[in-house]
Amino acid sequence: MSDISPASANSPAPSAASPAGAASRQSAEQLNLAKAFLDMQGRELALRSEELGLRKSQQSQTHEFNLSALNAQAVDREKERVHKRSVMRQYLLFSGVVIVLLVGFCVVAVCRDKEQLVLEALKIIASFGGGMGAGAFLGYRRGRKERRATDGIEDVEQ
């Protein structure tokens, strides 16, 4: 019995102390791991909430931009309608003046017994206007088809 020292006799057996210490260390590690996991989950949730906030602000900014673009487009279309109305008014005014001048010319010529002059003038106007009118019509149709092909816009009859 000389091999056993008094210090080793008082110390607990290594096999008995080790499982209890290991179990407490494992539970402490699991507890720390669970705390770290919950902490990570909390940070991830905070990050997701920030991301959602950013998405909401981005959507609201996109919405505001789209509204301003729509308002600008509405104003632009209103200006375009006003311009087209002005151009049409000028065209009709010019056509009216030309027609009044032609009718005035015909009335003056008939009053002076120059019916032959009126007939010759009408022949010239008909041949010139007919050829020019057909050319204008065909040019208009061709231009409209080319524009539709390049823009990809459907031809809408008005």
Helices 14-111 and 115-151 cross at an angle (nearest 10°) of 170
Q: Pseudo-torsion of CA 16, 17, 19, 21, nearest 10°? A: 170
Gap between the Cα atoms of 142 and 155, Å rounded: 12
Residues of the chain with pLDDT under 50: 1-2, 5-9, 11-17, 155, 157-158
- Distance in angstroms (rounded) separating the CA atoms of residues 153 and 147: 8
Burial code (b: 16+ CB inside 10 Å, e: under 16) for 112-149 equals: eeeeeebeeeeeeeeeeeeeeeeeeeeeeeeeeeeeee
Q: Residue 135 is encoded by which pair of tokens?
A: 């050319």
What pLDDT, on a 0 to 100 scale, did the predictor assign at position 149? 76
Residues 6 or more apart whose CB falls under 8 angstroms from that of 69 comprise: none
Summarised one tens digit per residue, pLDDT across range 80-101 is 999 999 999 999 999 999 999 9
The pLDDT of residue 24: 82
In this structure, which amino acid lies at residue 5?
S
The per-residue pLDDT for 9 is 47
**The two three-digit tokens of residue 5, written as one number:** 């020292």
Residue 19 is predicted with a pLDDT of: 67
